[in-house]
Amino acid sequence: MRILVRSAELMGARRLLDIESAHIDGCLYHGQASLDFVERLVASGGKVVVPTTLNVGSLDLIHPELFQGDAGTKSQAQRLMQAHIELGCASTFTCAPYQGPNRPRLGQQIAWAESNAIVFANSVLGARTNRYGDFMDLCAALTGRAPYCGLHVDENRRGQIVFALQDFPQERAGRDIWFAALGLFTGGATGSAIPVFTGLPLDTSEDELKALGAACASTGAVGMFHAVGITPEAGTLKQALGGLSAAATITVTRAMLNQTRAGLSRAKPGDRLAAVSVGTPHFSLAEFDQLLQLLGSAAAKPSIDFYANTSRYILWELEQSSRASKLRDLGITLVTDTCTYITPVMRQTQGLIMTNSGKWAHYAPANIGVEVAFGSLRECVLSAVEGRLVLDDHG
């Protein structure tokens, strides 16, 4: 509580508010200090007082054989994940808690960490959270309180910069890459401001909004966006802006998004690939269905390693319907509890790795030292079969 009160003072909050759920980012092992903090709380008998989910850890506890790192790090990382469970947190270990049961509802006050989860909760669900991080998120979960400021407050949720989209792809085939590219462009152009999008397809899916928000929060400090006619607080442009004028309007063309995409990928069609990784943020059931459809229409199985990151909850759903066994038979390595861009899971990282995730493409080069090829999910499947970069007409 002392940490929360002091943080509230620094954030300019006059009071604390009650929260109804929390999502904790601190179970990813960054060193001894992170473990010391949580184990002190465990030793003191600490327990969370609101429903609390956990973000990814540093290893896949369901498939421990996938971990390629050293034994010492593995042991500490596993202890950190277990310590959070001992505090009463649910063992979700996913960056997409909104894909599980008990999603936050419109207007609900929560304290979530993990950048894409924050953006999705605020933007797509209409719940209310600031960008909480280690270890303030856990303090909020233990007390059920958070500073009343920022995106918890009505007037601070108004859109500020309008991104007017021209010639944005309307057909579903291959357009996932353009939502990711739009997010990467927007994050760099807005910083911490709230963007408002006009011109997105009205049939935009939750997974496409997920890709957009995750990329926005990777290149910028975006905690929320509005998509006019799509997200719950943006029925009209006037509503999205809270009745005020936009600070700026930026026209976004397909050519500009092409340039953003090209900036993340130095690869050329025909270049050899070492692996493909998708599911950052974690894959949903709908995305797995799309992947199965693409694999089923491909000429052959992938000829290189193909990783799909997802949550335990989605894996359970896949197992119940036999889709998990179909995916494995088709050469897909299912990864849970963690993600391939933050921990040593991939068997081969020397060479070119392909992804359809803007977040993965942005962070993986620095995190795990790989070169990235950036394409749609369809292009990822085509390329995995060929073992080389393939770009189709939809890309």
The domain that holds 22 is classified in CATH as 3.30.499.10
Q: Report pLDDT for 162.
A: 98
Q: Tell me, yes or no, whether 58 and 111 share the same domain.
A: yes
Q: Report pLDDT for 173.
A: 86
Backbone angles phi, psi at 322, to 5 degrees: 70, 5
Cα–Cα dist 114/25, whole Å: 6
pTM of the model: 0.96
> Under 8 Å CB-to-CB from 345, ≥6 apart: which residues?
60, 66, 67, 68, 307, 335, 338
pLDDT of 395 above 50: no
Q: Hey, what are 287's tokens?
A: 């995305």
- Domain-located, residue 395: no
Mean pLDDT over 146-169 rounds to 97
- Domain-located, residue 280: yes
Count the residues in the chain.
395
Q: Tell me, yes or no, whether 77 and 30 share the same domain.
A: yes
Q: Tell me, yes or no, whether 33 and 56 share the same domain.
A: yes
Mean pLDDT over 312-338 rounds to 97
Q: Report pLDDT for 117.
A: 98
Q: Report pLDDT for 122.
A: 98
Q: Final residue of a domain: which of 248, 263, 278? A: 263
Q: Tell me, yes or no, whether 233 and 291 share the same domain.
A: no
pLDDT of 394 above 50: no
Number of domains in the chain: 3
Q: Tell me, yes or no, whether 42 and 116 share the same domain.
A: yes
- 169: nearest Cα among 248, 66, 49, 258: 258
Q: Final residue of a domain: which of 263, 293, 322? A: 263
Question: With bands split at pLDDT 50, 70 and 90, how would you rate the model's confidence at 393?
Answer: low
- 137: nearest Cα among 156, 110, 116: 110
- Domain-located, residue 294: yes
Give the type of residue at 184. L
Q: Report pLDDT for 153.
A: 98
> Which range marks the domain in which residue 190 is found?
158-263
Q: Final residue of a domain: which of 263, 286, 307? A: 263
pLDDT more than 90, % of the chain: 94
Q: Do 389 and 271 form a contact (C-beta atoms < 8 A)?
A: yes
HSE-CB for 170 with a 13 A CA cutoff: 4
Q: Do 152 and 130 form a contact (C-beta atoms < 8 A)?
A: yes
- HEC readout, the chain: CHHHHHHHHHHCCCCEEECCCEEECCCCCCCHHHHHHHHHHHHCCCCCCCCEEECCCCCCCCCHHHCCCCHHHHHHHHHHHHHHHHCCCECCCCCCHHHCCCCCCCCCECEEECHHHHHHHHHHHCCECCCECCCHHHHHHHHCEEECCHHHCHHHHCCCEEEEECCCCCCCCCCHHHHHHHHHHHHHHHCCCCEEEECCCCCCCHHHHHHHHHHHHHHCCCCCCEECCCCCCCCCHHHHCCCCCCCEEEEECHHHHHHHHHHHCCCCCCCECCEEEEEEEEECHHHHHHHHHHHHHCCCCCCCEEEEEECHHHHHHHHHCCHHHHHHHCCEEEECCCCCCCCCCCCCCCCEEEECCHHHHHHHHHHHCCEEEECCHHHHHHHHHHCECCCCCCC
pLDDT of 198 above 80: yes
CA distances to 163, 175, 193, 195, 222 from 186, in Å: 8, 17, 10, 8, 9
- Domain-located, residue 392: no
Cα–Cα dist 197/240, whole Å: 9
- Domain-located, residue 9: yes
Q: Hey, what are 86's tokens?
A: 């001992």
> Under 8 Å CB-to-CB from 383, ≥6 apart: which residues?
273, 276, 354, 373, 375, 389, 390
Query: Which tens digits make up the pLDDT trace of 83-110?
Result: 999 999 999 999 999 999 889 999 999 9
**Is residue 189 exposed (0-12), middle (13-18) or buried (19+ Cβ within 10 Å)?**
middle
Average pLDDT, the chain: 96
Mean pLDDT over 189-205 rounds to 97
Q: Tell me, yes or no, whether 180 and 254 share the same domain.
A: yes
Q: Tell me, yes or no, whether 181 and 149 share the same domain.
A: no
Query: Which tens digits make up the pLDDT trace of 22-58?
Result: 999 999 999 999 999 999 999 999 999 999 999 999 9
Q: Tell me, yes or no, whether 128 and 174 share the same domain.
A: no
- Domain-located, residue 315: yes
Q: Tell me, yes or no, whether 11 and 97 share the same domain.
A: yes
Q: Tell me, yes or no, whether 272 and 202 share the same domain.
A: no
Query: Which tens digits make up the pLDDT trace of 326-340?
Result: 999 999 999 999 999
Q: Report pLDDT for 259.
A: 94
Q: Report pLDDT for 265.
A: 84
Which position has the token pair 């950052």? 280
Question: With bands split at pLDDT 50, 70 and 90, how would you rate the model's confidence at 132?
Answer: very high
pLDDT of 299 above 90: no
